[in-house]
Amino acid sequence: MSISVFELFKIGIGPSSSHTVGPMVAARQFVEDLAGRGELTRTDRVQVHLYGSLALTGIGHGTDMAVLMGLLGESPDTIDVNSIDEKLARIERGEQLRLHGDHDIRFVREHDLVFHEDEFLPQHANGMTCRAYSAGELLFERSYFSIGGGFVLSEEDFAHKDQIATLLPYDFGSAAQLMSVCERHGWTIAELAMENEKAFRSEQEVKDALWEIWEVMDGSIQRGCHQYGLLPGGLKVRRRAAELYKELSKQSREEREDGLAILDWVSLYALAVNEENAARGRIVTAPTNGAAGVIPAVIAYYVHFVHDPEKHGDLKDQVVKFLLTAGAIGMLFKKNASISAAEVGCQGEIGVACSMASAGLAAVQGGSNQQIENAAEIGMEHNLGLTCDPIGGLVQVPCIERNTMGAVKAINAARLSLRGDGAHIVPLDSVIETMRQTGVDMQSKYKETSQGGLAVNAVNC
């Protein structure tokens, strides 16, 4: 399955790519499929059944909200996040839903949105089935799977997922192939990624779209640095980024010159993004929502503390290089393992984001392809086995702080790789396969079900 960098970096809303963005996309796709069959206006009832991890942690992840917005015809990248509460209240008050934005049907949430907490669909842990009825007769039924990072496959597509591909001029299925193609053409990893992206759009369009991705990331940092109060969901988690930003902004010159002071800023950037994510704000999946703060924090670190125009050139070009490099590494994980915590635990989210970020940072600091691959390998190797155990099914504890750790690890991984010549014992492909095997062996209670780990051993208040 060939992947574009823009499938890994998608503008959306919080709190979860697999449990919010994916289900919204799936529900919208269902009503579009229904309309395409000419059966939308005949429909008088829709039921959505959620299975596995979507059912177990769906309420905390906003899956219920996402499904309803998708049925309305909303899309994660364009929905007005400030309008969601009013739309939900309107559905609750009237027990009616405007399907696809123009066809009213009766919708009683308690009966038409069904959570099957003890049942998993065989294809994937994040499964949902949508059904449309007319006068009690089933008109249309289709299952969808949210496979991580906002990716959605229908039941039919899932059966042929390995055949779904766009023919790319310089495709690669492994890190070894990626390195070989780059060596053959004398390209950096970012240059190869750009050549492949040009199969979809012009080079300038790629650059502009990636800069827009960074602007949305930076916007989430800026908003997060100025928002106070408690995060929604019942855990009463206090937003910390604004207070930390206020404190860091008052630092004296001596405090700023402390060798570790920069890490406080890196942590701030990651906190700000993931608090915005938890508050259902506008963010970029990178490659998921739960790990959305790692890459923005590392790019912000580069922008504010590393970039030198005379040494590194134009900032926009460097950010584009960072994202193209990170995207190429993310594709390897997506193709050969998973970026879904419901499949492989948080190593597939924070671990992959850390690996991508370390590669991107090594690239913009002049690293060779070998050093970049080494950075990516270090970034994942030391996240192997990381579980996903969100307390209360919310993307808050330990998820928000975990992004700060992922960002710091990414910076250290890049620095370690740049201190060497790129030679290393463990290839990136081996680490990716190890991550996949570890995810297979990991018990389901540690894979975004909130049935193990901190989710059951920490006080839930």
Sequential pLDDT tens for the chain (461 residues) = 457 999 999 999 999 999 999 999 999 999 999 999 999 999 999 999 999 999 999 998 999 999 999 999 999 999 999 999 999 999 999 999 999 999 999 999 999 999 999 999 999 999 999 999 999 999 999 999 999 888 899 988 887 665 555 578 999 999 999 999 999 999 999 999 999 999 999 999 999 999 999 999 999 999 999 999 999 999 999 999 999 999 999 988 888 778 789 999 999 999 999 999 999 999 999 999 999 999 999 999 999 999 999 988 999 999 999 999 999 999 999 999 999 999 999 999 999 999 999 999 999 999 999 999 999 999 999 999 999 999 999 999 999 999 999 999 999 999 999 999 999 999 999 999 999 999 999 999 999 999 999 999 985 44
CB burial of 238-271 (b: ≥16 within 10 Å; e: otherwise) equals: ebbbbebbeebeeeeeeeeeeeeeebbbbbbbbb
Total Cβ atoms within 10 A of residue 118? 9
Superfamily of domain 15-159: D-3-phosphoglycerate dehydrogenase; domain 3 (3.30.1330.90)
Cα torsion 133, 134, 140, 142 to 10°: value is -20
Output the six-digit token pair for 415.
């620095």
Block residue for tokens 């701030």: 268
Output the six-digit token pair for 194.
């750009």
Q: Answer for the pair 407, 266: CB distance below 8 angstroms, yes or no.
A: yes
Residues 216 and 40: their CA atoms lie apart, in Å, by 35
pTM: 0.91
Domain boundaries, the chain: 15-159, 175-446
Residues 448 and 411: their CA atoms lie apart, in Å, by 27
